[in-house]
Amino acid sequence: MVISSLVISSSPTAFDAVCDSIGKMPKIEIVEKQDSKLAIVLETDSTEEAVTIASEIQSLDGILNVELVSHFFEDEQKQEENQ
């Protein structure tokens, strides 16, 4: 389990569509919407999966920026060590 949170900025005109698309994506919880910005939490199996989702968001129409706020990866760290 890897948990991370992000802030996403979109252009005001695309905001509703962006919220809609992100709302439909799996493993994402939208926790705040304001001024064409979204705060989201991702719960993924790995960092890689989180990055893939972040990149997908980045490529949506109207997205201006995707920024990382926090990243918790203790379980992944342990798994990698065991391998």
Partner 1 sequence: MGAMDRRDFIKSTAASLAVSSLLVSCGKKEKGEPLVQKIGGEIDALGIKWDKSVCRFCGVGCGVLVGRKNGKVVATKGDPECWSNKGLNCIKGYFLSKILYGKDRLTTPLIRKNGKLVSATWDEALDLIAKKYEEILKRDGSDAVAMFGTGQWTIFEGYAAVKFMKAGLGFISKDGVGSNNIDPNARMCMASAVAAFMRTFQSDEPMGTYEDIEHADTFFTWGANMAEMHPVLFSRIIDTKLKNPDRVKIVDLGTQFTRVSEEADLYLEFKPQTDLAIANYFANYIIKNKLYDEDFVKDNLVFKKGETNIGYGLKDKGADIPKTAGKMEKISFDEYKKFVSTYTAKYTSKLSGVPVEKLREAAKLISDPNRKVCSYWTMGFNQHTRGTWVNHLVYNIHLLTGKIAKPGQGPFSLTGQPSACGTAREVGTFVHRLPADMVVKVAKHREIAAKIWKIPVEKINPKVGLHTIEMFRAIDNGQIKLLWTQVTNPFHSMPNLNRFTKAAKERDIFIIVSDVYPTRSTEVADVVLPSAMWVEKEGAYGNAERRTQHWNKIADSPGEARTEIWQMWEVAKRLKVDANRTVADIIYNYNPDNYYEEMWDEYRSFTLGIGKDLAPYNVIREEHGVCWPYVAKSKAVNGKKDFSDVWADIENTEPNGFVSVKWRYNARYDPYAAKFIKEHPERSFKDGIVFYKASKNDYRATVLAVPYEPPGESPDNEYPFWLCTGRVLEHWHTGTMTMRVPELRRAVPRAVVNLNEDDARKMGIKRGDLVRISSRRGSVVFPADIGGRSVPQKGLVFIPFFDETRMVNEITLDQYDPISKEPDYKKCAVKVEKV
Helix (H, G, I), strand (E, B) or coil at 82: helix
Does 79 engage in binding with partner 1 (CB under 8 A)? no
Does 48 engage in binding with partner 1 (CB under 8 A)? yes
Determine contact, residues 34/7, Cβ cutoff 8 Å: no
From candidates 45, 61, 77, 79, binder to partner 1 by CB under 8 A: 77
What is the gyration radius of the CA atoms in the chain, in angstroms? 13
Instruction: Pick the closest to residue 51 from 71, 35, 34, 37 (CA basis).
Output: 71
Min dist. Cβ of residue 61 to partner 1 (A): 12
Residue located via tokens 């918790």: 72
User: Which of positions 7-46 make contact with partner 1 (CB under 8 A)?
Assistant: 7, 9, 12, 29, 31-32, 34-41, 43
Question: For the chain, first and last CA: distance in Å?
Answer: 16
Binding residues (CB under 8 A) for partner 1: these are: 1, 3-7, 9, 12, 29, 31-32, 34-41, 43, 47-48, 50-51, 54-55, 58, 64-74, 77, 80-81
